[in-house]
């Protein structure tokens, strides 16, 4: 095998750039993960949805309005939903100007483009299947793109990819289709429901306001489908005090809009 690169060893808790580095560059764009890379942030999170003609794209909202110029480019349309636009139409949109003029021309990436950039940057990915109820079959399609890009090879599955969703059904489908893929459920299931989650998910990703030391310990007490204790990645933590607090709770990962700030807070003695 190849020699480990500096930075390959993950220090816990992981610091995960939410949608990239969205405090500094437009969320879910290639510019945003490049910015995260320049900050030395290895783990990034994204959101995957589907166009009208079946292409997977990286964008958070189900509408194109907030993060693109869709209303200017398509003034006659009556819907702004991702699912009502083709990939070619979405490729025409500017997904950077809303954030700042220097990002004019940033695009909504396809998942394929995005994966290639994550690979190029030597980054690791927490991939969210967003709104799967709108996109029947998106799990199989996501796995196909990942497979085409080499992300289902054993060295990736060993620790560079986690698939997350608010939909337990969606994660169950991913797990059944490709049991080797690590998954994580977005939410805060009750203690009594954790045993059933542990059959198909390797982690629980709760919102920061919903957790405590007791909750994190309860999740850790369960073993996931890959024989390890369930992980806890919490979101969205954007200040140093909260980052230190959730570290004391014992979380395994912190999902943040300001990954450099949080990493610095965790490195202080």
Shortest-Cβ-distance residue relative to Ca ion = 128
181 binds ligand G3P (CB under 6 A): no
- What angle, rounded to 10 degrees, do the helices at 111-120 and 138-148 form? 40
Q: Which of 13, 17, 18, 237 binds ligand G3P (CB under 6 A)?
A: 18
**Cα(58)–Cα(106) distance, rounded to whole angstroms?**
12
> Any contact of residue 47 with Ca ion (CB under 5 A)?
yes
CB 46 within 8 A of CB 19: yes
Nearer residue to Ca ion within complex by CB, 47 or 258: 47
User: Which among Ca ion, ligand G3P, none contacts residue 24 (Cβ within 5 to 8 A by kind)?
Assistant: none
**Residue 186 interacts with which of Ca ion, ligand G3P, none, CB < 5 to 8 Å by class:** ligand G3P
Selection from 186, 42, 189 nearest residue 121 by Cα: 42
* 202 counts as binding ligand G3P under rule CB under 6 A: no
| Interaction between residue 202 and Ca ion (CB under 5 A) | no
Contact in structure between 109 and 27 (CB atoms under 8 Å): no
Binding partner selected for residue 42 from Ca ion, ligand G3P, none, CB under the kind-specific 5 to 8 Å limit = none
Find the binding residues for Ca ion in span 119-138 (CB under 5 A).
128
Nearer to Ca ion, 20 or 224 (CB): 20
Residue among 145 and 186 whose Cβ is closer to Ca ion: 186
Establish if 163 lies at the interface with ligand G3P (CB under 6 A): no
Residues sharing a CB contact under 8 Å with residue 233, sequence separation 6 or more, in sequence order: 14, 16, 126, 164, 184, 203, 205, 251, 252, 253, 254, 255
Instruction: Report H helices in the chain.
Output: 30-38, 70-73, 87-91, 111-120, 138-148, 154-157, 168-177, 194-197, 213-220, 240-249, 259-267
| Binding partner selected for residue 124 from ligand G3P, Ca ion, none, CB under the kind-specific 5 to 8 Å limit | none
| Contact status, residue 222 vs residue 247, Cβ threshold 8 Å | no
Tell me the number of residues near ligand G3P by CB under 6 A: 9
Supply the Cα-derived Rg of the chain in whole angstroms. 18
Q: Catalytic residue positions? A: 18, 60
Q: What is the dihedral of CA 131, 132, 138, 139, to 10 degrees?
A: 120
Instruction: Select the residue interacting with ligand G3P from 45, 94, 139, 149 (CB under 6 A).
Output: 45
Binding of residue 94 to Ca ion (CB under 5 A):
no
State yes or no: residue 186 binds ligand G3P (CB under 6 A): yes
Does residue number 258 form part of the binding site for ligand G3P (CB under 6 A)? no
Neighbours of 212 (CB within 10 A): 10
Shortest separation between residue 127's beta carbon and Ca ion, angstroms: 9
Residue 172 contact, options ligand G3P, Ca ion, none, Cβ 5-8 Å cut-off depending on partner type: none
Using DSSP's 3-state secondary structure scheme, residue 221 falls into coil
Binding site residues, Ca ion, CB under 5 A: 47, 128
Binding site residues, ligand G3P, CB under 6 A: 18, 45, 47, 60, 128, 186, 205, 235, 255
């Amino acid at each position: 095998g190849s020699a480990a690169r500096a930075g390959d060893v993950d220090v816990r808790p992981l610091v995960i750039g939410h949608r990239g580095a969205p405090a500094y560059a437009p969320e879910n764009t290639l510019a945003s993960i490049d910015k995260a890379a320049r900050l030395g942030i290895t783990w990034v999170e994204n959101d995957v949805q589907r166009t009208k003609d079946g292409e997977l794209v990286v964008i958070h909202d189900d509408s194109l309005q907030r993060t693109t110029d869709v209303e200017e480019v398509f003034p006659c349309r009556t819907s702004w939903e991702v699912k009502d636009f083709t990939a070619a139409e979405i490729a025409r949109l500017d997904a950077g100007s809303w954030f700042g003029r220097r990002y004019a021309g940033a695009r909504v990436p396809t998942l394929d483009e995005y994966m290639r950039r994550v690979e190029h940057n030597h980054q690791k990915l927490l991939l969210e299947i967003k709104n799967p109820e709108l996109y029947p079959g998106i799990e199989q399609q996501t796995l196909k793109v990942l497979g085409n890009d080499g992300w289902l090879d054993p060295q990736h599955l060993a620790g560079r990819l986690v698939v997350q969703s608010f939909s337990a059904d969606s994660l169950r489908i991913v797990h059944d289709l490709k049991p080797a893929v690590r998954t994580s459920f977005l939410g805060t299931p009750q203690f009594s429901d954790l045993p059933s989650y542990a059959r198909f998910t390797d982690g629980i990703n709760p919102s920061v306001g919903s957790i405590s030391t007791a909750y994190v310990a309860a999740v850790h007490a369960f073993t996931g489908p890959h024989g390890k204790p369930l992980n806890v990645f919490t979101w969205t933590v954007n200040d140093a005090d909260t980052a230190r607090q959730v570290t004391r709770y014992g979380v395994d990962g912190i999902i943040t809009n300001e990954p450099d700030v949080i990493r610095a807070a965790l490195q202080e003695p």
